Amino acid sequence: MIDGWKTTFATLGLVAMLVPVQALSAEWTRNTPGGGEITRNVTRDGNIYSGQTTRVGPNGGTYTSNSTCRDGIVDRCRRSYTATGPDGRTYSGNTATARGPYRVRSVGVHNGPGGTVGIIRRHWR
């Protein structure tokens, strides 16, 4: 009886190795409590996750964010975003984050209306 189980598990393991790993994806849209709408799309290919989020506010403002993360001992993520307010002012920026077993480091550059630029650097232990 045990030899039969061993053969069954060995066969399942061989089949799992022969089946190609496919990229997984998910997408959803929902209304926000304030009257806007948010849409999110996330895909995974191996240890790399990518996603896009779009939010439209009830007053016409929009926000779009794209991100890519890589899983590992140190998780690394990059995110960029653009936003336009109902008055036409635009904001944009990007952030890179590395999260390891003992600390988190993040750096970002953010651009506001009129060419203002802010650089934010964070380090957590």
Question: pTM of this prediction?
Answer: 0.69
User: 55, 62 in Cβ contact below 8 A?
Assistant: yes
In the chain, the percentage of residues whose pLDDT exceeds 70 is 81
CB 7 within 8 A of CB 14: no
Are the beta carbons of 94 and 67 closer than 8 angstroms?
A: no
Percent of the chain whose pLDDT exceeds 90? 55
Residues 6+ apart with CB under 8 A from 61: 83, 84, 85, 86
DSSP annotation of 119 reads E
pLDDT in tens, 12-49: 444 444 444 456 888 999 998 989 999 999 999 999 99
Residue 120 pLDDT level (bands cut at 50, 70, 90): confident
